[in-house]
């Protein structure tokens, strides 16, 4: 379709008059071929462009320029007009509107996601927004997630996920200047990697488990990991073999791991609570 069609500035007709003229042009196009048929179909497209633009406007303010959405809608209208068969129905828009809406949804699904969420979330998101607008009018307040979930027949978690995936379509740039500042950007607010954080976290996790070790186990850990003694040196101090030291270290570390993950006291059989021990 020539680009001039999309920019045509014609007075919008009343729906009944547009339907009447559309039906007449389509009937005439059935009886001709070649350039004359294409001229008539192009005239049908021109008559119904306001409808395509109106459908595209439903998706404004969702991260895509309205001009791009109108182009997708008008192209879908053109395909629908060329594929329409008057002998199967006399109303073009009954056939064309689902085609246009489908192309608009496909445009969002295929081209606008910077980070692509699951297909089910992509398809649920426009339904959530439509239900939100409708329920807000009925309830005279913003609907709650539970009310949206009941209306759509899905879980509340799915509704929240559809809300949150909006940032996937047009995520905030790390170079975006923060409101109320002259030059501070989003990346300036990201915490630096600090090795002390990991050490503090390890101490907070290990300290309670280590305090529940027996005196000999704590002594072995201190010699091995703080004094950095070899197993043979530890064995000499304790008067045992190096193999025994190796087995003791293996058991101590295993007990610490279980204590951290399950809360069992070191040396307690798996499944036994600390209090019972």
CA atoms lying within 13 Å on the CB side of residue 68: 13
Q: What is the pLDDT of residue 43?
A: 92
Sketch out the chain's domains with CATH numbers: 3-111 (1.20.120.1810), 119-172 (1.10.10), 196-262 (1.10.10.10)
In sequence order, the β-bridge partners of residue 177 are: 185
Separation between Cα atoms, residue 149 and residue 100, nearest integer Å: 27
- 3-state SS class at 116: coil
Nearest CA among 126, 67, 129, 138 for reference residue 101:
126
- 3-state SS class at 178: coil
Q: Which residue has the tokens 């990346």?
A: 187
Report CA-CA distances (Å) from 24 to 15, 40, 65, 154.
14, 10, 34, 45
Q: CA torsion, points 160, 106, 151, 146, in degrees to nearest 10? A: 0
Show pLDDT as tens, one digit a residue, over the chain (277 residues): 443 444 445 567 788 888 888 888 888 888 888 899 899 999 999 999 999 999 998 888 776 788 888 999 999 999 989 888 877 666 888 888 888 988 887 787 666 655 666 777 777 877 887 888 788 878 878 888 899 999 989 888 888 888 777 655 555 666 767 777 777 776 666 666 666 777 787 788 888 888 888 899 999 999 998 899 999 999 999 999 999 999 999 999 998 888 887 765 555 444 433 333 2
Q: b/e map of 114-145 (b: 16 or more CB within 10 Å)?
A: eeebeeebbebbbbbbebbeebeeeeeeebee
Separation between Cα atoms, residue 92 and residue 95, nearest integer Å: 5
Instruction: Please work out, in degrees rounded to the nearest 5, the angle formed at the alpha carbon of residue 208 by the alpha carbons of 230 and 255.
Output: 55
Separation between Cα atoms, residue 82 and residue 247, nearest integer Å: 80
pTM: 0.43
């Amino acid at each position: 379709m020539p680009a001039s069609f999309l920019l045509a500035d014609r007075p919008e007709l009343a729906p009944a008059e547009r339907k009447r003229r559309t039906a007449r042009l389509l009937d005439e196009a059935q009886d001709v071929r070649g350039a004359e048929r294409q001229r008539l179909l192009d005239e049908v497209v021109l008559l119904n462009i306001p409808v395509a633009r109106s459908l595209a406007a439903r998706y404004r303010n969702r991260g895509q320029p309205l001009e791009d959405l109108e182009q997708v809608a008008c192209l879908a209208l053109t395909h629908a007009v060329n594929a329409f068969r008057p002998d199967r129905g006399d109303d073009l828009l009954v056939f064309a509107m689902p085609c246009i809406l489908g192309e608009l949804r496909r445009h969002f699904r295929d081209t606008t996601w910077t980070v692509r969420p699951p297909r089910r979330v992509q398809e649920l998101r426009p339904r959530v927004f439509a239900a939100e607008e409708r329920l807000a009018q009925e309830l005279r307040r913003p609907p709650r997630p539970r009310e949206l979930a009941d209306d759509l027949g899905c879980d509340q978690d799915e509704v929240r996920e559809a809300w949150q995936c909006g940032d996937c379509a047009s995520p905030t740039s790390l170079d975006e200047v923060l409101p109320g500042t002259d030059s501070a950007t989003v990346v300036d607010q990201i915490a630096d990697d600090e090795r002390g954080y990991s050490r503090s976290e390890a101490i907070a996790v290990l300290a309670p488990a280590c305090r529940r070790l027996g005196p000999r186990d704590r002594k072995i850990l201190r010699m091995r990991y703080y004094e950095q003694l070899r197993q043979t040196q530890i064995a000499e101090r304790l008067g045992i073999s190096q193999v025994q030291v190796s087995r003791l270290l293996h058991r101590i570390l295993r007990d610490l791991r279980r204590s951290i993950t399950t809360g069992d006291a070191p040396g307690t059989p798996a499944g036994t609570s600390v209090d019972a021990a």
